[in-house]
Amino acid sequence: MDTRILDRFRAIVGGDGLLTEPEQLRTYECDGLTNFRVLPSAVVLPTSTEQVQAVVRVCHEARIPFVARGSGTGLSGGALPIEHGIVISLTRMNRILEVDISNARVVVEPGVLNLSVTQAVWPHYFYAPDPSSQQVCSIGGNVAENSGGAHCLKYGFTTTHVLGLEVVLPDGSLVHLGGPTLDRPGYDLCGVFVGSEGTLGIATKVILRVVRRPALIQTLLAAFHSTNEAGAAVSGIIAAGVLPAAIEMMDNLAIRAAEAAVHPNYPDCGGLLLVELDGPAAEVAALMVQVRAICTSCGAWEIRLAQSEEERAAVWKGRKAAFAAMGRISPNYIVQDGVIPRTALPEVMSEIERLSGQAGLRVANVFHAGDGNLHPLVLYDARIEGQEGRAERLAFSILELCVKAGGSITGEHGVGEEKKAFMPVMFAEPDLDTMQRVRCAFDPERLSNPTKVFPRPRLCAEKTGPYQPHPLETAGIAQLF
């Protein structure tokens, strides 16, 4: 990168806020999807909104593409750098700016970790969206991915909990979307920004809604012979009108990996359900009787109710550690993230098993069963020639299966780099074009995470129709489209 540009960045963020050495840049060459890697030209670490604005203004003037990065735990390549572009890392903007309990809201900088928000308002309140990565992922990343978690079944995804945003647009100007209260006139641009995967600008401040802690929280663990039996119990619980705070399912391979990693003392069974109920004590007690009865009628051969906060934490530890635990049983794995209608669970699970046998690769299954969000984990050994390619093909076949079943290519991990080719499987050209026109309104020069989410670029001021190549493509990033 031109040294004059680097000097301008250095003048804004100081010498220790700019990384240019290849060994420093390696840390930023990928996110949690490690099979895609691009070395950025530089990494800038601002500490304030003003610094973000100044850095983005330089990028805008020099037409340098940039990628915002939180903790880099994304699983779809969203924070993957763009060739000839820079990474703007928000980790140093990690202050909780305001805790306003009377109005149940908290104002944070984007680098604040998800779990820190709950810690700031506990024990009377909590921040409901709880990705399994909550100890390390940032609120900025959560906003950009519209992240979910076990408790989003009852409480809703990130979008339900973001009241307002301060955003640096890709030309360096500052806007406020949404605000401190829910009902605001005009377009819901805060809603548009949440889930936009870094393509509309950089969130520099986030106003979050926190939720009153329920009077009683109870967690039940039920062991079944198979995921089909466990799936029938999930359908039964929802059909009975019970809305648990969370229903999570794990298959035997996932249970064994979690046991090896964090010893949650799960029964060795074909399908495990964790059902959490919360609310007024009398209501939780009555509904738990119903849930137990449904699990038993569907074949549960062991049912345990966590008797203390420690037991409850242990039950959740196994589930939350499930992805990372795969390292115990396989050198490499791909986490897939697809959605299916709950009712399609038995057929989809059988088909995943068939595809897994056909590919000669094991697939472990962990899912947010209540909302049909599957996380098949395709296990492979990259040292064995051809296995990585087979694993990628299997992961994509599973996605196709989800779409055919009436579901979606992503439940919570986003499209990013990984799934952009799949967007036309879900959306017609006019649908994609409408989304891109929104993108153009925020980022006419296509500088903010430009190659992600959409299979092909589109420029501002184009009419609906065939896509036009962007000048950046001729500058060497075309192969990424």
Ligand X SMILES: Cc1cc2nc3c(=O)[nH]c(=O)nc-3n(C[C@H](O)[C@H](O)[C@H](O)COP(=O)(O)OP(=O)(O)OC[C@H]3O[C@@H](n4cnc5c(N)ncnc54)[C@H](O)[C@@H]3O)c2cc1C
Q: What is the binding site for ligand X (CB under 6 A)? A: 31-32, 67-75, 78-79, 90, 110, 131-133, 137-138, 140-142, 144-145, 147-149, 197-198, 202-203, 323-324, 412-413, 449
DSSP string, 167-196: EE-TTS-EEEEE-SSS--SS--HHHHHTTS
Cα separations in angstroms, 411 against 114, 295, 336, 367 = 19, 26, 10, 10
Shortest distance, position 156 Cβ to ligand X, whole Å? 13
Tokens of 168: 């640096």
DSSP classification of residue 92: T
Our CB check for ligand X shows the closer of 228 and 449 to be 449
Q: Which helix (H) or strand (E) is 274 found in, with range?
A: strand 271-279
Tokens of 383: 């040292």
CB-count exposure of residue 222 (10 Å: 0-12, 13-18, 19+) = buried
Shortest distance, position 451 Cβ to ligand X, whole Å? 11
CB 85 within 8 A of CB 170: no
Shortest distance, position 417 Cβ to ligand X, whole Å? 9
Our CB check for ligand X shows the closer of 228 and 410 to be 410
Strands 211-212 and 125-126: antiparallel
Sheet holding 86-89, edge to edge: 18-19, 42-44, 86-89, 66-69
Shortest distance, position 154 Cβ to ligand X, whole Å? 15
Torsion of Cα atoms, 416 then 422 then 427 then 430, to 10° = 80
Strands 363-368 and 246-251: antiparallel
**Cα gap 335→190, rounded to integer Å:** 29
Shortest distance, position 440 Cβ to ligand X, whole Å? 17
DSSP classification of residue 457: -
Shortest distance, position 353 Cβ to ligand X, whole Å? 23
Our CB check for ligand X shows the closer of 203 and 349 to be 203
Sign of the C-alpha dihedral computed for residues 345, 348, 354 and 359 taken in this order: negative
**Cα gap 269→32, rounded to integer Å:** 29
Tokens of 1: 């990168």
Residue with tokens 């780099």: 417
Residue type, 202: I
Our CB check for ligand X shows the closer of 43 and 287 to be 43
**Cα gap 68→449, rounded to integer Å:** 7
**Cα gap 234→336, rounded to integer Å:** 21
Our CB check for ligand X shows the closer of 18 and 322 to be 322
Shortest distance, position 453 Cβ to ligand X, whole Å? 9
Residue least distant from ligand X (Cβ): 141
Shortest distance, position 149 Cβ to ligand X, whole Å? 5
Our CB check for ligand X shows the closer of 189 and 284 to be 189
Our CB check for ligand X shows the closer of 133 and 408 to be 133
Shortest distance, position 470 Cβ to ligand X, whole Å? 19
**Cα gap 426→52, rounded to integer Å:** 35
**Cα gap 202→146, rounded to integer Å:** 14
Tokens of 353: 């098993």
Shortest distance, position 148 Cβ to ligand X, whole Å? 4
Our CB check for ligand X shows the closer of 189 and 300 to be 189
Shortest distance, position 373 Cβ to ligand X, whole Å? 9
Our CB check for ligand X shows the closer of 89 and 228 to be 89
Residue type, 374: L
358-397 as b/e: b if 16+ CB within 10 A: ebebbbbbbbbbbbbbbbbbbbbeeeeeebbebbeebbbb
Our CB check for ligand X shows the closer of 278 and 337 to be 337
Our CB check for ligand X shows the closer of 31 and 276 to be 31
Shortest distance, position 296 Cβ to ligand X, whole Å? 29
Shortest distance, position 32 Cβ to ligand X, whole Å? 4
Tokens of 395: 């992961």
Our CB check for ligand X shows the closer of 204 and 228 to be 204
Our CB check for ligand X shows the closer of 76 and 228 to be 76
Torsion of Cα atoms, 107 then 108 then 110 then 114, to 10° = -110
